[in-house]
Amino acid sequence: MKDEGALVQVWFKKGETVLDKRARETIAGKLPALRGAPGARFVVGGCPSGREPAQVHEARCRAVRDYLLQQRIDAARVRVASTCRIKRDAVPEEGEIITIVRE
């Protein structure tokens, strides 16, 4: 089930923690929406699949957050959620979706 507040959903392949070109392009396409809401705060998170260590999930969330900061989204506006705070779409066993939502 997709979270109603989802702004961006980024797919990671199994074992991957680095944003690939497609993931960066997905986020870049939504940057105007992320920048356009003055004072809006954003949460990066999702539900870990349970098939990989929690450290992998956390590294994915940090990778998305770091990319947002590189794109000049103010650090005070972006935080990483605790693991199961944000619902995600059901995904195949080959990876995980990390979601950015408006807080």
Q: Are 52 and 95 in contact (CB under 8 A)?
A: no
Domain ranges, residue 39: 6-102
Indicate the number of domains in the chain. 1
Q: Judge whether 35 lies within some domain.
A: yes
Q: Judge whether 36 lies within some domain.
A: yes
Per-residue pLDDT of the chain (103 residues), as tens digits, is: 344 467 888 888 888 899 999 999 999 998 888 887 777 888 888 777 677 788 888 898 899 999 999 999 888 888 887 655 555 555 556 677 788 877 7
Angstrom CA distances, 60 to 16, 23, 32, 36, 38, stand at: 8, 11, 22, 25, 26
Q: Where does 1-103 have alpha helices with state H? A: 21-35, 54-70
Q: Judge whether 80 lies within some domain.
A: yes
Q: Judge whether 61 lies within some domain.
A: yes
Q: Judge whether 81 lies within some domain.
A: yes
Q: Judge whether 1 lies within some domain.
A: no
- CATH classification of the domain holding 24: 3.30.1330.60
- 3-state class percentages of the chain: helix first, strand second, coil last, to nearest 5: 35, 20, 45
Phi then psi for residue 47, to 5 deg, are -100, 120
